[in-house]
Structure 1
């Protein structure tokens, strides 16, 4: 996390957020839909090679604070996975994504979490678990309860979305932005309190 002051006393926090999950779970679609405010859903599947990066600014309600979300959409194919930990370094937040119609993508979440933590983006950062493709109700094989249980066990916030229908795509990103802001405020309070104690 980095912070800087902008014009008119506006505070800007920078949040490197990595998205991890199996190939084909919809990480790129989720990223593009959030970045474009729901206007750019990819019509065809294009394999991500290593990492795709984009930036989206999020305003924190009732404050003069904005969060610049640097979104790292990381490749899910095995051939690229040895390079992933270095992309995870310095991340303030991470998102594990799975496809509710694909049980293997859910079973592999532990592996993705380990990659995040090897890259120093796990325990010291805010994480969410995102279940995608909830619009495909007839093909769903991973019930909400399974996702919720995994998230709870790993200390992650749980969300569901449909990138294809632009349903609740923004929610996990806004959650992470607000969590970063709260963490910054808490650090600031502790710093001020420590300074008062020292004086």
Structure 2
């Protein structure tokens, strides 16, 4: 049972007032050295840098325009060291999405990502948060220890988004954040449809149902 629900997205309109806009909190979770900070930095700054371990949490923002919506992602990059584990829930509280990042050259990092998923499942119901499993460091394919199929099958079994990336070579970094944003906006549409269902077709026959001709 979830203890706290994810908050509603902050909604408004774009600066020119022509389309809806949303603000979403996205957290990056995973072992130390899997490349969380590098992924966030590559996405926001379009650059790569080897990062020292994050101390506590760092914060970046990025705005992207989808077909008819502007989305602002507030990206929280959490520390992966075990000593920070007890306080990480303070950073992902109220998140709308989470990227569970592992290193494709480390099976242990995938196991750790699975544990993070268990933590999120204690905090959120399934439809309250968008979760993506991200296998990072595809530039080190020669050292791969986790097959893409293994990550993909686990993600499918848990109904997670899945993608492999490389912050260093900029492989599918934009794509994974865009996929998360698109799913968040799609959920807004489904929630709106549930709140305001379409009126029934007035031409639809009423009563027990259609009768066969001649009866």
| Same-fold call, TM cutoff 0.5 | yes
Structure 1 portions without partners, runs of 5+ = none
How has the CA–CA distance of structure 1 residues 124 and 55 changed in structure 2, closer, same or farther, with 3 Å as cutoff?
A: same
Note if 1:131 corresponds to 2:138: no
Higher alpha-carbon Rg: 2
Q: How far apart are the structure 2 equivalents of 1:2 and 1:176?
A: 16
TM-score by length of 1: 0.90
- Quote the offset at 1:58 in angstroms: 1.2
Q: Aligned residue for 1:55?
A: 61
- Quote the offset at 1:114 in angstroms: 2.1
Q: How far apart are the structure 2 equivalents of 1:122 and 1:189?
A: 19
- Quote the offset at 1:49 in angstroms: 1.2
Aligned residues: 191
- Quote the offset at 1:151 in angstroms: 0.6
* Among candidates 176, 179, 182, match of residue 178 of structure 1: 182
Q: How far apart are the structure 2 equivalents of 1:122 and 1:79?
A: 28
The answer as to whether partners of 2:37 and 2:51 remain within 8 angstroms in 1 is no
Note if 1:91 corresponds to 2:95: yes
CA-based RMSD of the aligned residues comes to 1.7
TM-score by length of 2: 0.83
Structure 2 portions without partners, runs of 5+ = 1-8, 201-215
Q: How far apart are the structure 1 equivalents of 2:24 and 2:153?
A: 27
Q: How far apart are the structure 2 equivalents of 1:28 and 1:151?
A: 22
**Per-residue Cα deviation, 1:120-165 (whole angstroms, up to 9, x for no partner):** 3865211111101111121111111110111112110110011111
